[in-house]
Chain A
Amino acid sequence: DVVMTQSPDSLAVSLGERATINCKSSQSVLYSSNNKNYLAWYQQKPGQPLKLLIYWASTRESGVPDRFSGSGSGTDFTLTISSLQAEDVAVYYCHQYYTLPFTFGPGTKVDIK
């Protein structure tokens, strides 16, 4: 199975500051035939459905604020919140959908400092 790891486990960032979450896969999730990384990022808030933020590693889902961005390729990926807002307090998960069984990272909790 492709093991997904995330770092840090949690972080606290001041309002308006940058938050950076890293995700690493044990195998590449880049499909060379279409040059796409099969990697997504989700946000989970208590009592709300999970929300897709980023897919293909760097494509922002419709309606997601542009302060959220994804980058990386192959095995190393990053989710960046450029200017943290109070409503961004949540747990963030990365997800590879390249190799069965599909797998998720353990999550990173983001709080306000």
Chain B
Amino acid sequence: EVQLLESGGALVQPGGSLRLSCAASGFTFSSYAMSWVRQVPGRGLEWVSVMSGSGDTSHYPESVKGRFTISRDNSKNTLYLQMNSLRAEDTAIYYCAKVKHDHIWGSLDYWGQGTLVSVSS
């Protein structure tokens, strides 16, 4: 059974940093691209980043480019999101999601429960 468990969400001040983790199990982690998606509570979904299975390719939207870094440790079956220079508008629930295929251009077939990041002074 595929499981994705996010952790690391917290209340942080504007300008601060945070690292989210996503522990994966139930599938061959290194064979699949992984993604982060966020959602302001009660609002819609925003794609945040994606990384290939090997970790050699990653992409971001302009809203987080240069501030967020996705990474993975395939030996630990864990995905990370390093978030720097956090802003109030980064406040959201952050979901880890598995891409259905081995390349980044795929739908997201499994999602975690999410971890809440709040940016406020």
Complex Cα distance, B50 from A40, in Å, reads: 16
Q: Which of B10-18, B21-29, B69-77, B102-110 contacts A (4 or more CB under 8 A)?
A: B102-110
A100 interface residue per 8 A CB criterion? yes
Complex Cα distance, B35 from A93, in Å, reads: 17
Complex Cα distance, B110 from A74, in Å, reads: 25
B55 interface residue per 8 A CB criterion? no
Pick from B50, B59, B62, B105: contact of A38, CB under 8 Å: B105
Chain B, interface residues (CB within 8 Å), range: 20 to 34
B106 partner residues in chain A, CB cutoff 8 A: 55, 97
Contacting B at CB under 8 A, from A47-105, are 49-52, 55-56, 61, 93, 95, 97-98, 100-105
Which chain A residue shows the least CB distance to B96? Answer: A49
> How far is the CB of B92 from the nearest CB of chain A, in Å?
13
How many interface residues does A have (CB within 8 Å)?
23
> How far is the CB of A109 from the nearest CB of chain B, in Å?
11
A49 partner residues in chain B, CB cutoff 8 A: 4, 95, 110-113
A98 partner residues in chain B, CB cutoff 8 A: 105
Complex Cα distance, B44 from A55, in Å, reads: 19
Contacting B at CB under 8 A, from A1-60, are 1, 38, 40, 42, 49-52, 55-56
Q: Which A residues have a C-beta under 8 Å from some C-beta of B?
A: 1, 38, 40, 42, 49-52, 55-56, 61, 93, 95, 97-98, 100-107
